[in-house]
Each structure stands twice: as structure tokens, then as C-alpha cells.
Structure 1
Amino acid sequence: MSGYPQQQYGGYQQPPPAGGAYQQPPPGGYQQYGHQQPPGYGGYPQGGHPGYGAPPAPSGPPGCPPGVDPTLYSWFVTVDADHSGQITAAELQQALTNSNWSHFNAETCRLMIGIFDHDNSGTIGLHEFAQLWAYINQWKEVFNRYDKDRSGNIDAGELYTAYNEMGFRVSMAFCQLIVVKFDRAEKKSLKFDDFIQSCVMLRSLTDAFRVRDTNLDGTIQVAYEDFMTMAISNKP
């Protein structure tokens, strides 16, 4: 098996850091995106609806802990619908939207909760939520960077560019397969939440591959059961 990426893009399952070389907007492209973007791409359109991937913007409640961003705390309190002090994947799903106002899919929310659920409780607290929110915003920058036609979706060609510039040496055929697998809307493209899920999956499998690639040459020999274990264990 081969295809091991030749470069890293940050820590475990982290998106490329903001401001990196390939994160710079192309002339006349992403740099102007914020001025022409449709409602839902990070701002608050008329009517006060949430931005791209953002929960509703509530008024700042009292009780914000010292050192915590008041706006972030307000979001946390709003997302925490049952006031338990913890956020579940279901609560997170109700708070996050794509550019077309569809809620994030349940699996992406479960994966993101799993990444930051350090105590394995199945939920995240305030400080874990802060880490998750920074993670989502980083991925949003990456998504916008490669959504060259500003459609709010990434097609196979855009995905091919994104993966390869992130260091994953994959083919166009592989990217087309990813689109088929993760395109829940059957639009032959990926929404923001689908894109996050595909990247988390790809990173997780790459990490499993790397453990077995002892020569670091992009090739491994793997027994049948080991391969099945690697595939079934694919999770953040």
C-alpha cells in the first residue's frame, strides 16, 4: 500500500496553521471572498441568523469565568441546551450550520467531540469547547481557501488541490471516490461538514499507515487481519 504524504500539516488531525505558505490567498481570489460571500459565511445576515458554522449569537450571560472570552462563553451557554455544563454531539449539531443553513451531519459532530473529549465522557466542557471552536475556524479558513468558485461546496477538483497541498499524495480518482462517499446531498461536491469529516478520516488512516511504514518509503506490507483492524479502528 502506498500514497503516504511527504509532509505534515500540524499536529494530530489538526488543519494547516493559519498563515502558512499555501494558506495565502491567490491574487483576486480568496482575499476578496469576504466581501462577496453569501449570507452564512462567517457573518450575521439580516434577521440575526448565525454565520457559517456558528451557533446563534446570544447576549452575554453573567457568570463568565475569568480568562474566558465572553463571546465564546455566550456561545457555550447557548449550545448547552440542557444547562448541564457539558455539550453533547447532538447539541453541537443543532448549533452548527453549513452555508446553505443545513445543520452539520451527526457523524462529523461525533468525530469532533471525540477529538476534544479528553476525559472520554462523550461530551466536552467549556475549555474543550474553546479548543473545538478554534479547530472549526481553522478548517473554515482551509475550506474557503479551496472553494475557488465560492459555491459553499468543494468539488473533486478542488478537493484534489486541497489534499495534495496539505501533503496527501492522492489521485483525482481517489478524490472522486471521497466525494461519492461523503456527498450526502448528492450534489457531486462536499459541504463544509463533509469536508471536515473526510479530512479527519484521511488523517486518522494516514497516522495508522505511518505506524506501519517503518522505512518511511510510503509502502507497507500488512496482513489481512491487521488491515481489517486498521480500518475498523479508524476514528479520532
Structure 2
Amino acid sequence: MSGYQGYGHPQGYPGQQPPGGYPGQQPPGGYPGQQPPGGYPGQQPPGGYPGQQPHPGGYGGQPGYQGVPPGMDPNVVSWFRAVDQDNSGQINAHELGQALQNGSWSKFSDESCKMMINLFDHDHTGSINLQEFGQLFNFINQWIEAYRRFDKDNSGTINETELMSALQQMGYNLSPQFVGYLVSKFAPRTRQVTLDNFIVSNIQIQRLTSAFRKHDTQMKGVITINYEDFMTLAFANVV
């Protein structure tokens, strides 16, 4: 079945739910603000929160909270406070974009930040609280681990060959022409896919594959779809 995702990468696919539940455990390596060996940018803020303190009456909507909530990773709390620039107890896409960098030192795109906020904004407020941020924290770490595995030359970006290998190992049977299209869509000039574009493209591929499968009842890799169903499918996958 051409194009369908199979069993996935043996080390796990960040967009899938592994056994035991997802978002899962934080993988080694830390948040994307940490400097890994070999050229991915940023560093974790020393001491946690640079220059600001929680609200006197509490932080993150928890009255009287001045420390780390029970069961919450202190590293997650430290990052949340650093990213929460207005000290509101909520993080929006703009604030997230100010905190995340690619291996090329460029900021994450608005599209990628909005997509990630939407994925974990369970109460549909347009922003995420501390608990939702904890899930996003783990999610991004899992994608960083996958990205680093496929960034064979440790350049901080992924080229067309590396992206083809990544998609194949994740179980997608996609043609070189389609992979070339993906690269030209996200990086028409450099032909180098950054971390944020890698995450966006994989999430979109996963969503579209899942939606396609619902229509492909005979599992032939081919569907017949009417105009309104197509429009519904397209709009459902717009960030």
C-alpha cells in the first residue's frame, strides 16, 4: 500500500502513541533550549527564570504556589517561567516562538508554534498552562531525539536524502519526487529542512495519512472522494 505508514521506526515515532501512553517520559537531552554536543543552539537559562518571579498570589493559576507542583519536573517549571514573558501563567504561540530555535539558529516559524500550541491547548484558550506545557515539553524532546538521529552530519539541518531516510524508517513509503516536493515547500532556497519544519511536515503527513485511511476502507492506497469530503479533509488539517 504505497505511501502508508507501516510499523514505524523501531526506536519510536514521536507522532505516535507508544505503549504505556503519550506524552510519555522525557527522553535524555533536555529541552530545545539546551545546547547538545554538535551545534544545536541555545542554553537552558541559568537558575531557571531570568529576571522575574511568580505572581505574589501564586503562579500558573495555583494560589500560593511558589515552587514546583507535586509530580512536576522542576526543569519543566523552570522553562515555563522563562518562556512566560508576561508572567501570566499561560504561554501563547508568540511567546513559544521567542524561546525555540533551530539548529541553524533561526526561530521556529509561526506555523510550527501555532500547531504545537493547538496540539496541547486542551481547553481551547489559544494558550497553554503549566500542565499542558509539560506535555509539550516532552513532545518536543521526542522530536529532537528523532531529528538528531537523522541529522547524520550533525549540521543542525536535514537535507533531502536525510529526510527520505527519516520518512522511510518511520514507515512511510513515499517517492523521492514527493520528498523533493516537501523540501521545496519548506525550504525552497536552502533545500535544508530545519527542526520546526521537520515537526510540522511529519505531523501533517501523519494527520493526512490517518484521514486518508478512514476513506480507504479496502486498504488499497486509492480512494474515491467527493468534493465536500475533500474540502472537509483539507480544512481539518489546516493549522
TM over 0.5: yes
Structure 1 pair 156–39 and aligned structure 2 pair: CA distance change class (3 A): closer
The answer on 1:196 being equivalent to 2:199 is: yes
**Post-superposition CA distance 1:35-90 (Å, at most 9, x none):** 5x1252xxxxxxxxx24xxx644436642222212221011011111111111000
**Alignment counterpart, residue 84 of structure 2, candidates 77, 80, 85:** 80
- For residues 93 and 191 of structure 1, the distance between their equivalents in structure 2, rounded to whole angstroms, comes to 14
Q: Is the 8 A contact 1:108 1:193 kept in 2?
A: yes
Alpha carbons of structure 1 residues 39 and 174: separation in structure 2 relative to 1, 3 Å:
closer
In the alignment, what sits opposite 1:106?
110
Q: Which amino acid in structure 1 is aligned with residue 187 of structure 2?
A: D
The TM-score normalised by the length of structure 2 is 0.78
- More off after superposition, 1-10 vs 202-211: 1-10
CA deviations on 1:128-167 (whole Å, 9 max, x unpaired) are: 1111111111101111111112111111111111111101
Count residues with an aligned counterpart.
206
Aligned to 1:13: 15
CA contact (8 A) 1:79 1:87 kept: yes
Pair 1:59 & 2:48 matched: yes
RMSD: 2.5
Instruction: Tell me which protein shows more helix as a share of its residues.
Output: 1
Contact 1:15 1:138 in 2 (8 A): no
- Which residue number in structure 1 is paired with residue 93 of structure 2? 89
2:161 counterpart of 1:157: yes
Matched, 1:234 2:237: yes
Letter in 2 for 1:120: H
Query: Gapped runs of 5+ residues in structure 1?
Result: 18-33, 41-49
* Residue deviations 1:1-44 (CA, integer Å, cap 9, x gap): 95222335678934889xxxxxxxxxxxxxxxx65x1252xxxx
**Which residue does 2:29 correspond to in 1?**
none
1:144 aligns with 2:145: no
